[in-house]
């Protein structure tokens, strides 16, 4: 006898499995701290690349002036300013990453719990 509830449950679980299940299981293979730490690390790398691109674009914009004044620029002060901007940028971006991926991790845990509950229900049929 075909159980419609069982088929519905199986369909829901297959849908979940095919869409976000793999991603969620991948997330769950990490401890929360490790997963968020990895994402923050990726964000620091991304932010560093973006910062370098923006600095390069600005230098190229005033390239002639930059080359002319390169020996008159206070390199220490400019470096300090750039470093401050870089650190603030990376800190803000990392904080946003932390919040976003903490929420994502919590959601994936909740979804996985639902999924395993479904599996147990399926086993009871």
Site residues, another protein (CB under 8 A): 42-43, 46-47, 49-50, 53-54, 57, 60-61, 63-64, 93, 97, 100
Half-sphere exposure of 79 (CA within 13 A, CB side): 4
For the bound state, the minimum distance from the C-beta of residue 36 to another protein, rounded and expressed in Å, comes to: 13
For the bound state, the minimum distance from the C-beta of residue 104 to another protein, rounded and expressed in Å, comes to: 9
For the bound state, the minimum distance from the C-beta of residue 60 to another protein, rounded and expressed in Å, comes to: 6
Q: How far is 5 from 93, CA to CA, in rounded Å?
A: 46
Q: How far is 91 from 124, CA to CA, in rounded Å?
A: 49
Nearer CB in complex with another protein: 54/83: 54
């Amino acid at each position: 006898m075909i159980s419609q509830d069982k088929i519905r449950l199986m369909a829901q679980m297959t849908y979940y499995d095919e869409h976000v299940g793999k991603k969620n299981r991948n997330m769950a293979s990490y401890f929360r701290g490790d997963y968020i730490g990895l994402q923050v690390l990726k964000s620091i790398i991304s932010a560093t690349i973006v910062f370098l691109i923006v600095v390069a674009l600005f230098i190229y914009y005033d390239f002639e002036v930059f080359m002319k004044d390169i020996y008159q620029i206070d390199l220490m002060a400019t470096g300090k300013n750039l470093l401050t901007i870089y650190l603030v940028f990376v800190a803000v971006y990392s904080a946003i990453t932390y919040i976003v991926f903490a929420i994502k991790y919590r959601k994936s845990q909740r979804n996985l719990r639902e999924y395993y509950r479904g599996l147990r229900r399926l086993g009871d049929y």
